[in-house]
A and B are shown apart, each in its own frame.
Chain A
Amino acid sequence: MSPKDALFKEIFDKNSKKIFHLCYGYTGDKDSANDLLQETFLKVWQNLDKFRNKSLISTWIYRIAVNTCLTHLRSEKRQAKDELTDNIIETRVEERSEKNEQIALLYQSISKLEENDRLIITMVLDELPYPEIAEISGISEGNLRVKIHRIKQKLTEIYNQYAGV
């Protein structure tokens, strides 16, 4: 294995789960999330030589993933697929245990948020430090705190609606 391949493997193992959370939270569909995960890491591999340690590598990867997710929805071909998301989730929920059902509901609730809000809340839930989220999403830390407070409320509201609580 070449040094670049070895480095890529290390980066992938360290970051792939969190990036998958981000993509899954964004699309609400596992298959699309896997596609986005692959596209993100394809970009990471192809541009690894150009990464300069100006920011954390995880921040750099998150930024690629966020751009990939946002571009994904704008692609006409994928939009048709996105409309099917509700059906996909609803069908799968029936097959799950109670805890898995709650998690599926949570992903479904996240997918009902605004595009950027979905990405931000996933990073919050994955406990990324606020300065890092601010850098990835390109907004000031002050604004981010206000935004996160509002997204948390909105998400809780949607989740409770779905859960019938």
Chain B
Amino acid sequence: MQEFNHIEALWASHTVDTHISAEDMLRQAKKEVSSMRTKSILNIVIMTLSMIAVTSLWFYDFQFWTTHAGISIVILAIAVYTLILYNHYRIIAGYDFTANPQQFISQLKIYQIKRHNLYKKLYWFYAIALSLGMALYFFEPLAHMPLIYRILIVIISFGWMIFCSFYVRKVVIRKDREGIALLIEKFERIYQQLH
């Protein structure tokens, strides 16, 4: 029969390895706060690069007016979407949880609603504008191709748009909502425990 002093001695004799250093912790802490902002910036950068790439097409010597009209609509759609993403980024960019936790949490909630509206409503304007732009653009390049290639290119392009709109969009909405909700829950829990 062991006594409690055996337990005390056993406890005192053991050491633990936490597998984590203060540097790792600091990196982790800073990552938690800034990862959403980084993701948001990355999104904007990718959209801007796409816009530059499509804009460069505009300067080619196309024969059909529909080609330029299509490219212009695509550029406009990407520009408006990028501007909306930038506005969303600004909602969370200037706030620090350590400086004003309540304000930070309320900004996160606004961000969550805006993101939800973006994918639920605004996305369709973006998708329709892109489809219209692509349809107009395709008149010229497809005019010189055999029928089978025309059909294949149209099916692949619009099939991809439909796949993104009905499948990818839903996955993104779910992941985005869960990710932001988890962050809000986490920051609210931290705030409640310390105030």
Interface residues in A82-131 by Cβ distance below 8 A to B read 99, 102-103, 106, 125-126
A38 pairs with B194, CB closer than 8 A: no
- Chain B at the A interface: mostly helix, strand, loop or mixed? helix
Known: A45-B26, A106-B11. A34 touches B18 (CB 8 A): yes
Interface residues of A (CB under 8 A from B): 5, 8-9, 12-13, 16-17, 20-21, 24, 34, 37-38, 41-43, 45-50, 64, 67-68, 71, 99, 102-103, 106, 125-126, 152-153, 155-156, 159-160, 163, 165
Which listed residue, A42, A67, A102, A156, touches B29 by the CB 8 Å rule?
A: A42
Report the count of interface residues on B (CB-CB < 8 A).
31
Interface residues of B (CB under 8 A from A): 1-4, 7-8, 10-16, 18-23, 25-26, 28-29, 32-33, 97-98, 189-190, 193-194
How far is it, in angstroms, between the C-alpha of A88 and the C-alpha of B135 when the chains are bound? 58
Most B C-beta atoms less than 10 A away, residue of A45, A48, A160: A45
13 contacts between A and B (CB under 8 A): A21-B16, A34-B20, A42-B25, A45-B29, A46-B98, A50-B98, A71-B193, A99-B10, A156-B2, A156-B3, A156-B4, A160-B1, A163-B2
